A and B are shown apart, each in its own frame.
Chain A
Amino acid sequence: MTERITRQDVAHVADLAQLSLTDDELDAFTIQLADILDHAADLDALDLADLQPTAHPLPLVNVFRADVVGPTSDRDEVLAAAPAVEDAQFKVPPVLGEGP
């Protein structure tokens, strides 16, 4: 089996996807992802040069509604679902590292 994806690649995508993996998980996911990408290698046999990519099964068009005010979500109800709220805003830990 060719080396489709390395341990370093998996560590990199985990970082991009904001996931933290243990060493054992990194080993297991590397094998499993390589296995899946190996299966996808059957596509290499196809001649796709003249084909356009399909992103969606429907011919998508922009859909507009009439510019009329309708019911909207209740702010307090939406905020009630958040883990932390202050002054009617979502509250998060410091973004740049300095504690409060």
Chain B
Amino acid sequence: MSARHLAEAVRSGARSARSVLDEHLDAIAAREPEIHAFNVVLADEARVAADEVDRRVAAGEDPGPLAGVPVAVKDNMCTRGIPTTCSSRILEGWIPPYDATVVERLAAAGAVMVGKTNLDEFAMGSSTENSAFGATRNPLDTTKVPGGSSGGSAAAVAAGFVPLSLGSDTGGSIRQPAALCGVVGVKPTYGAVSRYGLVAFASSLDQIGPFARTVSDAALLLEVVNGHDPLDSTSIPETPADLTSVLDRGVEGMRIGIIEELSGDVLEGIAGDVRARLGEAAAALEAAGATVETTSVPSTVYGLSAYYVIAPAEASSNLARYDGVRFGLRVDAPTSGDMHTATRTVGFGDEVKRRIMLGTYALSAGYYDAYYGKSQKVRTLIVDDFARAYGRYDLLLSPTSPTTAFDLGEKTADPMTMYLTDVCTIPSNLAGHPSMSVPFGVGDDGMPVGVQVLAPAMGEPAMFRAAAVLEAAAPPGAAS
């Protein structure tokens, strides 16, 4: 059942939030041991929250648009009194003294948080295999990865553990796992959703967004969490546009461009079945009245290289705070300097160390211009190219991921191969633009394919309208 219908049933008194919760806790109990979507399931806290929703309904109050809807939150968002680990040993034992703004907004909307989901350590990865607490598995085929870094949030929705979850997306960490698990995943415009209480990875790229099984549910969740927050200085002050009320407006008259560089022969590795589904998606939009043509956005192919300098550079600075002094792990040593080094060496996993060193190198004397400076100029090039494209098109289209879900262990030995899975999603982060993945049929292996809809800054309404058209026209999804 959709989140929208669950909330309607709870608000009207037709169903109790407690019965909705128990049903979802049963689903978790049945399959969580093989999926490992969660770092922690908060059954007791969730029962208290659900009973409170029921009490309010009984008292004639309205608990809000997500009344009694079970939600899961990626474990890099702070939860007061509940451990927040980022799936890293270095935050072992840390209990945040405050809630992230999104967590407060979920509670204020009547949602019931049932758990914190697994991720690649500090959101660095594309398969959720970099978690210090073990990998998450794809609910549609447990020999496959769920994608990453928000793999736990994607898997929790795909497995039916929750109808809604939140992830964070720095280079594709919501959209890529959404594609691989066959659910809807949205990276909103940079600044649309408050980052207050989101543990920082790369601050100029990070953005929180929703996972859902339907486009309409994703819009509902985004409307709950977006909007200005004085606690985030990068939060957009304008009132966000309505999304749920425009979903059925279609794409008649819209101009949509398929990004040639991310969809065809320019890049190696965009699989034939993914290209075939993209072509069918384009035809569906055309049938619904849009003008669809292939267009060139040349610099998008350079996004990956620029990203793997910029994101590690920002990470190397953000992760300097983990030094064993104020929170989390401390490995004792005779001097402070040795204590910092011992703590960081034991506390961080290999991928995090790799990115910290890469970023430190790119920012170090003698290499700054060659790597960081150059990558920032490429970022300008990408922003300019998108601006030109959006002069001619309302929306752009590409695959979300070059392939369907890959096998566990398939790419862990070679970081560069893993990074290449983000090639289609990274450009939107560099430009600060919204984009979303919509399930569109399956590949030759029967696993889901996602189509990515890209929009200019604040272009969420048109993006969601196109997503709704794609959802309605999509071939059957993967059988779970």
Asked if B95 CB lies within 8 Å of chain A CBs, one says: yes
What's the minimum C-beta distance from A65 to chain B, rounded to whole angstroms? Answer: 6
Asked if A69 CB lies within 8 Å of chain B CBs, one says: no
Interfacial chain B residues near A36, Cβ < 8 Å:
308, 358, 415-416, 419
Contact A81 B357, beta carbon cutoff 8 Å: no
Contact B378 A46, beta carbon cutoff 8 Å: yes
Asked if B287 CB lies within 8 Å of chain A CBs, one says: no
What's the minimum C-beta distance from B304 to chain A, rounded to whole angstroms? Answer: 7
Asked if A1 CB lies within 8 Å of chain B CBs, one says: no
Contact A81 B341, beta carbon cutoff 8 Å: no
What's the minimum C-beta distance from B376 to chain A, rounded to whole angstroms? Answer: 3
Contact of B326 (CB < 8 Å), options: A35, A62, A77, A90: A90
What's the minimum C-beta distance from A66 to chain B, rounded to whole angstroms? Answer: 10
Interfacial chain A residues near B328, Cβ < 8 Å:
81, 83
Q: Which of A58, A73, A95 has the most CB of B within 10 A?
A: A58
Contact A40 B371, beta carbon cutoff 8 Å: yes
Contact B327 A81, beta carbon cutoff 8 Å: yes
Asked if B377 CB lies within 8 Å of chain A CBs, one says: yes
Contact A93 B377, beta carbon cutoff 8 Å: no
Who on chain B is nearest to A44 by CB? B374
Interfacial chain B residues near A62, Cβ < 8 Å:
233
Interface residues on A, range: 35 or more
Given A43-B306, A48-B381, A84-B330: A20 in contact with B345 (beta carbons within 8 A): yes
8 Å CB contacts to B: which residues of A55-70? 55-58, 60, 62-63, 65
Asked if A87 CB lies within 8 Å of chain B CBs, one says: no
Given A42-B305, A43-B305: A48 in contact with B354 (beta carbons within 8 A): no
- B110-118, B121-129, B244-252, B332-340: which lies at the A interface? B332-340
Who on chain B is nearest to A84 by CB? B330
Contact A97 B335, beta carbon cutoff 8 Å: yes
Contact B327 A51, beta carbon cutoff 8 Å: no
Contact flags B199-243 to A (C-beta < 8 A → 1, else 0) = 000001000000000000000000000000010011010000000
Who on chain A is nearest to B356 by CB? A17
Asked if A2 CB lies within 8 Å of chain B CBs, one says: no
Complex: A12 Cα to B361 Cα, angstroms: 9
Contact A33 B377, beta carbon cutoff 8 Å: no
Q: Which label, helix, strand, loop or mixed, suits the secondary structure of the B interface?
A: helix
Q: Which label, helix, strand, loop or mixed, suits the secondary structure of the A interface?
A: loop
Interfacial chain A residues near B383, Cβ < 8 Å:
54, 57
Contact A73 B332, beta carbon cutoff 8 Å: no
Asked if B379 CB lies within 8 Å of chain A CBs, one says: yes
Who on chain A is nearest to B236 by CB? A58
Contact flags B427-439 to A (C-beta < 8 A → 1, else 0) = 0001111000000
Complex: A5 Cα to B374 Cα, angstroms: 17
What's the minimum C-beta distance from B431 to chain A, rounded to whole angstroms? Answer: 6
What's the minimum C-beta distance from B230 to chain A, rounded to whole angstroms? Answer: 6
What's the minimum C-beta distance from B234 to chain A, rounded to whole angstroms? Answer: 6
Given A46-B381, A53-B380: A33 in contact with B304 (beta carbons within 8 A): no
Interfacial chain A residues near B348, Cβ < 8 Å:
19
Contact B357 A17, beta carbon cutoff 8 Å: yes
Contact B204 A56, beta carbon cutoff 8 Å: yes
Given A65-B230, A90-B326: A33 in contact with B97 (beta carbons within 8 A): no
Interfacial chain A residues near B374, Cβ < 8 Å:
43, 48
Asked if B56 CB lies within 8 Å of chain A CBs, one says: no
Given A19-B357, A40-B309: A93 in contact with B204 (beta carbons within 8 A): no
Complex: A73 Cα to B98 Cα, angstroms: 8
Asked if B353 CB lies within 8 Å of chain A CBs, one says: yes
Contact B419 A58, beta carbon cutoff 8 Å: no
What's the minimum C-beta distance from B132 to chain A, rounded to whole angstroms? Answer: 16
Contact flags B372-399 to A (C-beta < 8 A → 1, else 0) = 0111111111010000000000000000
Given A55-B204, A58-B432, A83-B329: A42 in contact with B302 (beta carbons within 8 A): yes
Complex: A94 Cα to B291 Cα, angstroms: 68
Contact A33 B335, beta carbon cutoff 8 Å: no
Contact B325 A92, beta carbon cutoff 8 Å: yes
Given A65-B230, A84-B330: A46 in contact with B302 (beta carbons within 8 A): yes
Complex: A55 Cα to B314 Cα, angstroms: 10
Contact A93 B334, beta carbon cutoff 8 Å: yes
What's the minimum C-beta distance from A26 to chain B, rounded to whole angstroms? Answer: 10
Interfacial chain A residues near B379, Cβ < 8 Å:
53-54
Contact B378 A43, beta carbon cutoff 8 Å: yes
Who on chain B is nearest to A99 by CB? B334
Contact B302 A93, beta carbon cutoff 8 Å: no
Contact B416 A93, beta carbon cutoff 8 Å: no
The 10 closest A-B pairs by CB, nearest first: A57-B432, A53-B376, A83-B330, A54-B379, A48-B377, A40-B305, A81-B327, A51-B377, A63-B233, A77-B97
Residue contacts A-B, CB under 8 angstroms, 13 given: A10-B357, A17-B316, A17-B353, A19-B341, A32-B415, A33-B358, A39-B305, A43-B302, A43-B305, A57-B190, A58-B236, A94-B336, A95-B336
Which A residues contact B (CB, under 8 angstroms)? Answer: 5, 9-10, 12-14, 16-21, 29, 32-33, 35-37, 39-43, 46, 48, 51-58, 60, 62-63, 65, 73-74, 77-78, 80-84, 90, 92-97, 99
Extra 8 A-B pairs, beta carbons < 8 Å, given A35-B415, A39-B416, A57-B430:
A10-B361, A19-B341, A43-B306, A43-B374, A43-B378, A55-B376, A63-B233, A81-B326
